Amino acid sequence: MKDHIHAQSVRPYPARRHQSAQPYPDGAHDAGSRHKGPPADANYGQLLRATRIRGLIISEAIGITQLGLGWPYATGIWSRQQIAGWRNVTDAVHERGGRIIAQLWQMGRVVHPDFLGGRQPVSASATAAPNHAHTYEGKKPYELARPLSVDEIAGVVQDFRQAALNAIDAGFDGIQLHASNGYLIDQFLRDSANLRDDRYGGTIENRVRFLKEATQAVANAIGAGRVGVRLSPNGETQGVRDSDPLPLFTKALETLSEIGIAHVELREPPVDGTFGVGEIDPLARYLRPAFKGPLILNSDFDATRAQAELDAGIGDAVAFGRPFIANPDFPRRVAEGLPLAQDDPQTWFTQGTEGYLDCTN
């Protein structure tokens, strides 16, 4: 029986548990400014010291450029100040014997013009996300994005490459490309948001091209063994869905397997999920043969379900996010059958210690 607590390695960044902490909602930022890396006394670093995880932590998403970052107080990794701030976090993880990788995102059309000085956001096509954006002035409707030109796509690929190099400079053990949840790479992958008729649109091969180019560029820069990718195959997220997801994501995983990356994470909430719901049952069992490396499962797992999926060979590891917020000693609680504290959603993505450092007992 595969044990979801004890040792397994995910290539050069060894995860000493089958449990990965993924991702921590992180509001830490530099006081008096926006979109910067955590300061020396960041709540994030304090949380990690309290958590004592000796496994693999996947960070909350980190912006690669201002153009692609549209969340209040979210962190970036494009400046020397941000890199230095993240070094405090990675040092805290390594002091505890853990490993941490940087999840890198470009949000695409899910960036409100307020974050861009009034400029139009970008996407695969001229579309707008549904619902409202969180801005510093409150919620506002998303606005129409403009399609990236072919030359601009090449530029974003280089942005991912540089962000990966910056992450390694900041002490991260690797990176994960955020290609899920309706953000830019996902907007190219799935046909509800990709209406292009050039080599980045139409066929499955074309829609996978941007993911392939970004992943290959990052792998060339820092080594494929330090690179992972996150995908969300089984349902709509922020208005992005696909009419036939199984062949699309089979091709995506085959492509990533050829590049030889360290892992793929599948974020697939069940149809009765508690934080997002799938439109169909998770596709992981059907996608498993397409990827030859470690496959991480994510969304709405408890210890029992996680163990069952691992025993069935559907995945190689299970990522937990929300349980870690209120239970920094989550692996110990699972191993010893102890009850779990409940996290408070009202404290997610906030800038203070409440909900993070007051749940350590």
Residue 331: the pLDDT is 85
**Is 61 inside a domain boundary?**
yes
CATH number at residue 164: 3.20.20.70
| Domain span including residue 134 | 19-347
Predicted local confidence at residue 325, as pLDDT: 79
pTM: 0.88
Domain membership flag for residue 86: yes
User: DSSP class of residue 115?
Assistant: G
Domain membership of residue 278 (yes or no) is yes
Give dist(CA 302, CA 252) in Å, integer.
28
Q: CA nearest 160: which of 204, 113, 217?
A: 217
Total domains, the chain: 1
At position 26, the amino acid (one-letter code) is D
Structure confidence at residue 167 (pLDDT)? 98
How do residues 156-207 score in pLDDT, each as one tens digit?
A: 999 999 999 999 999 999 999 999 999 999 999 999 999 999 999 999 999 9
In a domain, 14, yes or no: no
What's the pLDDT tens digit per position in 19-68? 455 544 333 333 234 555 554 344 555 555 455 556 789 999 999 999 99
> Which of 183, 200, 286, 356 does the annotation list as catalytic?
183
pLDDT at 329: 83
Contacts of 357 (CB under 8 A, 6+ apart): 43, 46, 47, 50
Decide if 8 is inside a domain.
no
Per the domain annotation, does 152 fall within a domain? yes
The pLDDT of residue 8 is: 31
Residues of the chain with pLDDT under 50: 1-19, 23-33, 39-42, 49, 361
**Any residues with CB less than 8 A from the CB of 124 and at least 6 apart, and which?**
108, 147, 148, 184, 187, 188, 193, 194, 195, 196, 200, 201, 210
* CA–centroid distance for 345 within its chain: 19
Residue 24 annotated among the catalytic residues of the structure: no
The per-residue pLDDT for 27 is 32
Q: Cβ neighbours of residue 338 under 8 Å, at least 6 residues apart?
A: 332
- Is 12 a member of any domain? no
Reference 321, options 350, 288, 343; nearest CA is 343
